[in-house]
């Protein structure tokens, strides 16, 4: 049975926005606005350290009445996000996102555990 992979829908030069865990939420949000993205991947040595989404900002910063100018990404990111590779079947990626109730799935290099980020979708 033919099961197309994520590589069939991801462009050759995907747009990726990464930030440092030590960046503030307000700085990160400004980058999200600049690149018109609703999430960023926090990386250390080009390896995913977490993901910060607009939902994280809303639920973990705004709803908690925290100051985004002072809060660091490392304090409010989603730690150890579920990741996929370019050869992950689309249906598996969607199934994982549905079951995990998340909207963003970072893509990493194949064969490298928590490897270098390609992009997020």
What is the pairing mode between strands 18-19 and 39-44? Answer: parallel
Which residues of the chain, if any, have pLDDT below 50?
112-115, 118-121
Rounded CA-CA distance 86/32 in Å is 23
Which pTM value belongs to this model?
0.81
Q: Given this model, what pLDDT does residue 100 score? A: 92
CB 24 within 8 A of CB 71: yes
- pLDDT at 119 (0 to 100): 46
Is domain 6-120 given the CATH code 3.10.580.10 in the classification? yes
* Domain boundaries defined on the chain: 6-120
DSSP 8-state class, residue 61? I
What per-residue confidence (pLDDT) applies to 106? 84
pLDDT, residue 1, reads 58
How many angstroms separate the Cα of 95 from the Cα of each of 30, 92, 98, 105, 118? 31, 5, 5, 11, 21
């Amino acid at each position: 049975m033919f099961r197309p992979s994520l590589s069939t829908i991801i462009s050759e030069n995907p747009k990726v926005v990464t930030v440092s865990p030590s960046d503030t939420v307000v700085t990160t949000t400004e980058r999200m606005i600049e690149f018109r993205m609703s999430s960023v991947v926090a990386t250390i040595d080009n390896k995913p350290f977490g993901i910060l989404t607009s939902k994280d900002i809303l639920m973990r910063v705004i709803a908690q009445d925290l100051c985004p100018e002072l809060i660091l990404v490392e304090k409010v990111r989603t730690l150890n996000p579920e990741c996929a590779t370019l050869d992950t079947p689309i249906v598996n990626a969607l199934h994982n996102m549905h079951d995990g109730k998340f909207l963003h799935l970072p893509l990493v290099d194949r064969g490298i555990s928590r490897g270098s980020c390609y992009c997020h979708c």
